[in-house]
């Protein structure tokens, strides 16, 4: 099996399916996901969380990030510095001026690097072992392998992204939690919680 070709085809199919979710259904599922994430984070003291700017119909967590900032959390966005290198995490304020980054995704204009305690990342696909299918460049896996101490990792996506397997590579790192509108899947679980 050509895993690279399978991943390309699967990625394209899942992104197209996500973009076709009707707006009301997308909003309803997104709110459920946001509540699961907020409940998960509520047991932690305020710390530094890296989130993401929504892209290609991903779950939009910006409202939750604003609420977390109001509770004392520091927010960050990932920045692609160069190919095949770890991401840099930049402090993200509610009024940060933004520049266009890689793939046209906004990043804070003023670069204040921070070390995240929690990394929340979007999923294109995921499997029962908490492996994440992303956009194909491997930035999050490269970054997680390099970060010390390793932050908590949470994948965010829709249930339609669930796969039997992503056919993980040796460099792929499973996430601690995956959250969809159906609940929370912890690393090592064989069923969903929630």
Contact 167, 6 (CB under 8 A): yes
Residue 68, Cβ density class (10 Å: 0-12 exposed, 13-18 middle, ≥19 buried): buried
Per the confidence metrics, is the pTM higher than 0.85? Answer: yes
- Domains, the chain: 3-186 (3.40.50.10420)
**pLDDT tens-place string over residues 110-137:** 999 999 999 999 999 999 999 999 998 8
What is the per-residue pLDDT across 130-171, written as a single tens digit (0 to 9) for each? 999 999 888 999 999 999 999 999 999 999 999 999 999 998
């Amino acid at each position: 099996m050509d895993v690279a070709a399978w991943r390309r085809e699967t990625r394209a199919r899942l992104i197209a399916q996500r973009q076709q979710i009707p707006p009301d259904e997308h909003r309803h599922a997104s709110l459920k996901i946001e509540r699961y994430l907020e409940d998960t984070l509520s047991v932690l003291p305020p710390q530094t969380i890296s989130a993401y700017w929504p892209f290609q119909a991903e779950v939009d967590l910006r409202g939750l990030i604003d609420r977390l900032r109001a509770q004392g959390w520091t927010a960050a966005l990932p920045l692609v510095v160069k190919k095949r290198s770890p991401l840099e995490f930049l402090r993200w304020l509610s009024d940060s001026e933004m520049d266009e980054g890689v793939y046209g995704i906004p990043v804070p204009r003023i670069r204040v690097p921070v070390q995240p305690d929690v990394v929340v990342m979007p999923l294109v696909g995921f499997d029962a072992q908490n492996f994440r299918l992303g956009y194909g460049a491997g930035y999050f896996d490269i970054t997680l392998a390099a970060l010390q101490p390793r932050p908590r990792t949470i994948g965010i996506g829709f249930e339609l992204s669930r796969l039997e397997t992503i056919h993980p590579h040796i460099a792929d790192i499973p996430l601690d939690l995956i959250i969809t509108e159906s609940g929370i899947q912890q690393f090592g679980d064989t069923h969903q919680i929630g």
